[in-house]
């Protein structure tokens, strides 16, 4: 079994330099040195002695990762990216919990993680209120929040890493309008969160700028306790069937995420409509299944690998130095054009 001395010899550095890399203290390290140490760790398959580390520091080599529900493949994708980076670069593993967007569950997870010696957590939560985050941070929990922005004008004790949700929905909607759609709809669950509100605003702005505000509609689904993440596709299916029967059926629809949009496509097929010949569908997230649908679904890519890297680096960096100021990181989405969008039926473009 390789030791930290073996890694140091392979990389041509001191053992303290290797230790700094393992513990996230590499902000001032030369990029070439960091690359050599990381390469040596991979080549030697070095794993730190976690028992010794825990006895010395009182901390476990674990990062908590709290998600709304692993039923959504997007959250599984994020967790995998976090785990890969945390394990390969820092020798940390992850502990996953499902919070179901419940503030009390999130707060209880914070308590459980700290009780087990976990001092760093990445939480995917866009709940409007983050006071329970602040209470946990005040007790020493290093926190990075994904999918929500910092409250404007309020100093935050946690880092925020998020995608521009407003722009995600705006891009999806503008794409439909550019293809000639005037009757458009945006479908979302009724549970209001910060990111969902931002997406609705992005949809509405694109409709206004595109001159179709009068025929654009936001459709909020049934109460969230009836349709959580595990039922998101079924909510999309149900709403598609209802839309297919409506008097002024939209010709283009944007879903709050890919999973709901998969349901939209299935529901339209159930109603005897063809995607995209009769109705076009756009998702948001770009989960791997979106390219396997038939037709392959046009969606908006969230840069998960890049975001996961920043989240892990922030946790590890602040575990090494809790005095590092917190920051907010905003990533921009990109449109991924596939086959689920076509000009509306009967239009000149369709002919």
- What domains can be seen in the chain, in order of their start residue? 4-163+304-331 (3.40.50.2300), 165-301 (3.40.50.2300)
Report the pLDDT value the prediction gives residue 155, as an integer from 0 to 100.
Answer: 75
User: Do residues 66 and 99 touch, judged by C-beta distance below 8 A?
Assistant: yes
Report the pLDDT value the prediction gives residue 51, as an integer from 0 to 100.
Answer: 45
Q: Is 87 helix (H, G, I), strand (E, B) or coil?
A: helix
User: Do residues 185 and 254 touch, judged by C-beta distance below 8 A?
Assistant: yes
| Residue 175 parent element (H or E) | helix 165-178
pLDDT tens-digit readout, 133-144:
888 888 889 999
Q: Which residues of 321-347 are buried (b: 16+ CB within 10 A; e: fewer)?
A: eeeeebeebeeebeebebebbbbbeee
pLDDT tens-digit readout, 192-251:
788 899 999 999 999 999 999 999 999 998 654 555 677 889 999 999 999 999 989 999
**C-alpha torsion angle, residues 125, 131, 137, 138 (rounded to 10):** 180
Report the pLDDT value the prediction gives residue 55, as an integer from 0 to 100.
Answer: 43
**Which of these, 212, 271, 278, lies nearest to 251 by C-alpha position?**
278
Q: How far is CA 191 from its chain centroid?
A: 17
Report the pLDDT value the prediction gives residue 348, as an integer from 0 to 100.
Answer: 60
The pTM score is 0.81
Q: Which residues of 130-142 are buried (b: 16+ CB within 10 A; e: fewer)?
A: bebbeebbeeebb
Rounded Cα distance between 253 and 55, Å, is 55
pLDDT tens for the chain, residues 1 to 351: 677 888 889 999 888 888 788 766 666 788 888 889 888 888 888 766 554 555 445 567 899 999 988 888 999 999 999 999 999 888 899 999 998 888 889 989 999 998 888 999 999 876 766 778 888 888 889 999 998 887 777 778 899 999 999 999 999 999 999 999 999 999 999 877 888 999 999 999 999 999 999 999 999 986 545 556 778 899 999 999 999 999 899 999 999 999 999 999 999 999 999 999 999 999 999 999 999 999 999 999 999 999 999 999 999 999 988 888 999 999 999 999 999 999 999 776 655
Q: Three-state secondary structure along 14-42?
A: CHHHHHHHHCCCCCCCCHHHHHHHHHHHH
State the CB neighbour count (10 A cutoff) for residue 32. 8
Rounded Cα distance between 224 and 167, Å, is 24
Report the pLDDT value the prediction gives residue 223, as an integer from 0 to 100.
Answer: 55
């Amino acid at each position: 079994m390789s030791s930290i001395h073996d890694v140091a010899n392979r990389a041509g550095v001191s053992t303290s330099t290797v230790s700094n890399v393992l513990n996230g203290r590499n902000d001032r390290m030369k990029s070439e040195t960091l690359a050599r140490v990381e390469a040596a760790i991979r080549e030697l398959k070095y794993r730190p002695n976690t028992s010794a580390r825990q006895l010395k520091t009182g901390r476990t080599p674990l990062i908590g990762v709290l998600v709304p529900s692993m039923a959504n493949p997007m959250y599984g994708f994020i967790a995998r990216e976090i785990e890969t980076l945390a394990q390969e670069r820092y020798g940390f593993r992850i502990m996953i919990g499902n919070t179901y967007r419940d503030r009390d569950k999130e707060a209880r997870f914070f308590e459980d993680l700290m009780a087990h010696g976990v001092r760093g957590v990445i939480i995917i939560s866009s709940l409007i209120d983050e006071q329970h985050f602040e209470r946990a941070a005040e007790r020493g929990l290093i926190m990075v929040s994904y999918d929500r922005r910092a409250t404007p004008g309020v100093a935050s004790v946690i880092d925020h890493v998020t995608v521009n949700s407003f722009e995600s929905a705006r891009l999806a909607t503008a794409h439909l309008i550019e293809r000639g759609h005037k009757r458009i709809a945006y479908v979302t669950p009724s549970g209001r969160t910060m990111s969902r509100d931002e997406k609705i605003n992005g949809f509405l702005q694109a409709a206004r700028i595109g001159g179709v505000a009068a025929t654009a509609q936001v459709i909020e689904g049934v109460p969230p306790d009836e349709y959580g993440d595990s039922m998101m596709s079924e909510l999309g299916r149900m709403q598609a069937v209802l839309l297919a029967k409506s008097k002024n059926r939209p010709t283009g629809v944007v879903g709050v995420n890919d999973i709901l949009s998969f349901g939209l496509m299935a529901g339209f097929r159930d109603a005897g409509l063809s995607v995209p010949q009769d109705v076009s569908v756009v998702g948001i997230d770009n989960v791997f299944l979106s390219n396997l649908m038939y037709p392959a679904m046009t969606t908006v890519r969230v840069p998960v690998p890049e975001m996961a890297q920043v989240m892990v680096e922030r946790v590890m960096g602040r575990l090494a130095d809790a005095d590092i100021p917190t920051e907010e990181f905003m990533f921009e989405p990109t449109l991924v054009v596939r086959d689920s969008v076509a000009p509306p039926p009967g239009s000149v473009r369709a002919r």
